[in-house]
């Protein structure tokens, strides 16, 4: 309507003598006005439609797939998530309290070093209560950590078990405390800090030094003690168990809830390795294995090589090893 009236107005206001010469210009102007009016009309119409549409797009899903996705997102937002490990499908958070089983490693102030000796909550009470009255530390007791070179020793214990960059419970310090009254060296691969820039590759000098320290300590140890934290995967620990299963110097603590607990228990059965499921039973087995390896203590708790001076009450009898599955190791 607006463009038609404008066209008539332009025609009436233009002298007849110049109509033929200006008709093309007028037609172009009218066409331009019509384009502008059409554009404004479409803009107003679209604005009205948008204003009338609901803002919640979830109320009108375009298809069933979108509906399913929306429902899944809604569940994710309203209930605690429990992410599953992509390897073993175990949940990475406790289904009861929803606490993470794999807490992030804590970095020290310099940002490059990870503290793997931080407090890890024992949510499954795997270690039990801390002992209230520990015996005094023996003057010859040594707690060896990498990369310190291994010192001279007569008898020693290697703590082979779950670490996982500080995610496993702090069982190594607990066991070191339980053994501190003995004149032995304890080899603990769980160093206090680890630079996260170190890559787990054979060509990385720092990584190689750590692995070789562990391999040397495993070889030199009189007894190798394995503890599997069942809230971890512990692939390196399983590798080490395979390496030393036939050695006759291994004791194992592995709860049946460990994701590969069945494998561990069958290996121990096949190779006659003493194996228990409770951490409280592990320390007596270590002492009994030290006795089996020839360690004798006198009444003062010092090493002796004289059977007459040895106090048999200082170390448990080897019978507890037999009860836990000790047999002559098989070679195949």
Report pLDDT for 93: 58
Report the C-alpha gap between 144 and 265 in whole angstroms: 29
Q: Is the pTM of this model over 0.75?
A: no
Quote the CA–CA distance of 233 and 259 in Å, as a whole number.
Answer: 7
- Percent of the chain predicted with pLDDT > 90: 53
How far out from the chain centre does Cα 67 lie? 34
| Helix orientation angle between 2-13 and 19-52, rounded to the nearest 10 degrees | 160
Q: Find where tokens 């692995």 sit.
A: 211
What pLDDT was estimated at residue 248? 97
Collapsing DSSP to helix, strand or coil, 224 comes out as strand
Query: What is the phi-psi region of residue 272: left when phi exceeds 0, alpha when psi lies from -120 to 50, beta otherwise?
Result: left
Cα 177–182–183 angle (5° rounding)?
A: 125
Query: Would you say 179 and 186 are in contact if contact means Cβ atoms under 8 Å apart?
Result: yes
Residue 189's contacts (CB-CB under 8 Å, 6 or more residues apart) are 145, 146, 158, 159, 160, 163, 210, 213, 214, 217
- The predicted pLDDT at position 92 comes to 56
**Residue 81 CB partners (closer than 8 Å, separation 6+):** 93
User: Can you spell out the DSSP letters for 35-61?
Assistant: HHHHHHHHHHHHHHHHHHS-S-GGGS-
Q: pLDDT at position 168, please? A: 85
pLDDT at 190: 87
pLDDT for res 206: 87
* Ramachandran bin of 135, using left for φ above 0, alpha for ψ from -120 to 50, beta for the remaining angles: beta
Residue 26 structure tokens? 């007028």
Write out residues in the chain with pLDDT < 50, as ranges. 2, 6, 9-10, 14-23, 26, 33, 36, 39-65, 67-72, 74-81, 86, 332
Residue 18 has a pLDDT of: 45
- Asked if omega into 222 is within 30° of 0 (cis), the reply is no
**The total number of residues written for the chain in this structure:** 332
CA distances 255 to 12, 117, 262, Å, are 102, 23, 10
């Amino acid at each position: 309507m607006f463009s038609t009236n404008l066209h008539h107005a332009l025609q009436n206001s233009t002298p007849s003598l110049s109509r033929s010469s200006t008709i093309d210009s007028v037609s172009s102007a009218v066409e331009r006005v019509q384009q502008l009016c059409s554009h404004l009309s479409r803009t107003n119409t679209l604005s009205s439609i948008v204003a009338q549409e609901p803002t919640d797009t979830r109320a009108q899903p375009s298809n069933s797939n979108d509906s399913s996705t929306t429902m899944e997102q809604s569940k994710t937002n309203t209930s605690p998530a429990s992410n599953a490990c992509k390897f073993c499908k175990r949940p990475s958070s406790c289904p009861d309290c929803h606490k993470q089983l794999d807490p992030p490693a804590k970095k020290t102030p310099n940002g490059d070093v990870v503290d793997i000796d931080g407090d890890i909550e024992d949510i499954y009470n795997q270690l039990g209560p801390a002992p209230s009255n520990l015996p005094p530390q023996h003057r010859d007791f040594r707690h060896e950590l990498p990369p310190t070179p291994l010192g001279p020793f007569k008898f020693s214990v290697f703590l082979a078990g779950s670490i996982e960059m500080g995610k496993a419970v702090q069982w190594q310090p607990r066991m070191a405390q339980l053994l501190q009254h003995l004149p032995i060296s304890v080899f603990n691969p769980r160093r206090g800090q680890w630079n996260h820039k170190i890559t787990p590759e054979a060509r990385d000098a720092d990584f190689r030094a750590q692995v070789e320290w562990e391999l040397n300590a495993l070889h030199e140890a009189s007894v190798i003690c394995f503890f599997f934290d069942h809230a971890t995967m512990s692939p390196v620990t399983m590798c080490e168990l395979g390496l030393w299963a036939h050695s006759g110097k291994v004791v194992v603590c592995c709860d049946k809830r460990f994701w590969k607990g069945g494998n561990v228990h069958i290996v121990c059965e096949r190779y006659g390795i003493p194996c228990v499921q409770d951490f409280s039973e592990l320390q007596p087995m270590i002492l009994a294995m030290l006795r089996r390896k020839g360690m004798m203590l006198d009444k003062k708790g010092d090493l002796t090589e004289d059977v007459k001076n040895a106090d048999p009450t200082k170390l448990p009898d080897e019978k507890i090893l037999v009860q836990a599955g000790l047999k002559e190791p098989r070679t195949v």
